[in-house]
Amino acid sequence: MHALHPAARTVRAGLLALAIAASVGACSFDNGDGSIGSLIHVHDGRITIRGSNDTTARIEADGDLRIAGKAVALTPAQRALTTQYHAQVQATLHDGMETGKAGAAMAGSVIGAVFSGLAHGDTRDIGRKANAQAAKIEVHVARICDDMQAIQTTQNRLAAQLPAFAPYTVIDDRRVGECRSGLHAH
């Protein structure tokens, strides 16, 4: 097997980083609708969470909560948590969209640098440009991981106050850890 040219290694690393950025947290966001993996969905401003008991919980922007289709009476403290949860999910989806944009910009920049470097016979600048773009994406990915950690904290606080919400605590330490596992330690 032959060694890859440094430019080819850089392109491969750039494309791998783009693929990772596109899939981190498995977030998608379009016109206010989106999802975090297959766990949490947003449609028309409503957040739906598929629970471990195969039922759903729905949270409205104003904090209203429905579990398995039934309205749940909330204390002011619980409503504050459901409202916070709603805002955190929206922030995560927005940050996922921004990460996707950064990934697309990275791909364009790296591919442009590769073609320019190859056309001019000087590929030394490709790695620097790829690393600079990858660092920008890592900032976005870290923000998503922080968002997921915030959702986990809020969902756990809500479940502690409202045991009926326990089956809907879908963001766990493993998911947050998986998000953070690809980040470089600084």
Angle at the Cα of 44 from the Cα atoms of 39 and 146, rounded to 5 degrees: 45
Within 8 A by CB and 6+ apart from 179, the residues are: 24, 25, 141, 144, 145, 148
The residue length of the chain stands at 186
- Please spell the DSSP secondary structure of 10-70, one letter per residue: HHHHHHHHHHHHHHGGGEEEETTEEEETTTEEEETTEEEEE-TTS-EEEE-TT--EEETTE
Per-residue pLDDT, averaged over 89-109, amounts to: 73
pLDDT higher than threshold 50 for residue 159: yes
Q: What is the rounded average pLDDT for all residues in the chain?
A: 77
User: Of 18-22, 126-130, 159-163, which range is least confident?
Assistant: 18-22
What is the predicted pLDDT for the residue at 67? 97
pLDDT higher than threshold 80 for residue 42: yes
pLDDT higher than threshold 60 for residue 13: no
What is the predicted pLDDT for the residue at 114? 64
What is the predicted pLDDT for the residue at 93? 84
What is the predicted pLDDT for the residue at 32? 55
Strand order in the sheet with 65-67: 27-30, 33-36, 40-43, 46-50, 56-59, 65-67, 70-72
Task: Give tens-digit pLDDT for 126-150.
Answer: 666 666 767 777 777 888 889 999 9
What is the predicted pLDDT for the residue at 69? 94
pLDDT higher than threshold 70 for residue 9: no
Per-residue pLDDT, averaged over 87-99, amounts to: 83
Residue type, 67: I
